Amino acid sequence: MKKFILAALSACLAFAPMHLQEKNGAAEELVSGKAAYLCDFESGACAYAEHETERLPIASMCKIMTLLLCFEAADDGNLSYDEQISVSDSAAGMGGSQVFLGSGLSYRAEELIKTIAVCSANDSCVAMAERIAGSESLFVEKMNARAKELGAENTLFSNCTGLPKEPQYSCAKDVALMLRTLLSHEKYFEFSKVWLEDFSHPDGRTTTITNTNKLIRFYDGCDGGKTGFTGQAGFCLAATAKRGDTRLVSVVIGSESSDKRFQSVKNLFNYAFAAFESRKIVEAGKPLETKLNVRGGKQKQISVCAERDLTVFCKRGEEVNATTEFSLLEGLKAPLAAGADVGEAILYRDGVEVSRCRLLAAEPAEKLSYGDAFKSIAENW
């Protein structure tokens, strides 16, 4: 859902920079890079920030937006995952990370999207861009428009791959925002968790694709993210990890080596999982005390529930002032199926909105028949 982006908190929960951490009595670098940002996935609440709004090249992390537009095109009905996409000479001729698509050959959209998520395939990026917008340049316009819509104020794209091309930049905070939006698409996780897989071409060739995000395999809870590297950008990584009810998003830009970017993100995750928690205020699927009035139904009221958990990201043991508001649609008539959209649940912390989600009918509302109405009148005569 796009609405939860509007609920992001503006202030960090960490009050002091922690560029160094103690380990075995010695100071150890927490983050190696030009910029970093760590936040809660659900609310966007910040747990660590360093030069988070500085405009920097982000290399292939710009494919987070490329992937987001692919999933949104499918959600809007403008793209089918099963459709065959013909690869142009331009797409097939892309350099850098690629899956070696054959010019003139056709591939399933879902397979192309997978190669972008797993192995950062530039050729697949251009093929998808041309399919969705007609050309890469028109697709880039969509990328910039979507970034503006999200509130990514320090982001400008010049291509859909992240290959060097001026002017093009983003910042750690904006990358986290874009990744949070991408993570709201559950299908993304079907691809992001792939470690090693063979990609079959229509002409009989096979290309082995390997996930560029090593944390998928080597960090407990990590199930998504995007790497990036160019000589100008340095080594970059945006990743997500979940333990229990807490999902985090961490971004590091401009590390000196691949190992340092992975270690930096691991350090940030370790710090946040130890110091913070996502405290569940509203549980998904659990009927609320609030009831929905239904006209013309066998029951005058039915139970409602939240579509997903609503949580508050806070320091462990911290007292939290959290309140909820349930906004129900009016004038709904039976019949109404279980799972129907009936309103919104809004979560506030200290009076500031931090998250929202849809409210669903927790049970069906059957229509009142003439026989039911006559029986009711007779019983109450």
Task: List, in sequence order, every residue forming a beta bridge with 169; answer none if it has no partner.
Answer: 156
Are residues 311 and 349 in contact, defined by beta-carbon separation less than 8 angstroms? no
- Other CB atoms closer than 10 Å to residue 22's CB: what's the count? 8
Are residues 341 and 283 in contact, defined by beta-carbon separation less than 8 angstroms? no
Q: Which residue numbers are catalytic?
A: 60, 63, 120
| Total number of residues shown for the chain | 381
Cβ within 8 Å of residue 187, ≥6 positions away:
71, 74
Going from the C-alpha of 211 to that of each of 24, 39, 97, 194, the distances in angstroms are 33, 23, 12, 7
Are residues 261 and 237 in contact, defined by beta-carbon separation less than 8 angstroms? yes
- Other CB atoms closer than 10 Å to residue 217's CB: what's the count? 11
Are residues 63 and 125 in contact, defined by beta-carbon separation less than 8 angstroms? yes
Task: List, in sequence order, every residue forming a beta bridge with 46; answer none if it has no partner.
Answer: 12, 39
Sign of CA dihedral 193, 198, 202, 205: positive
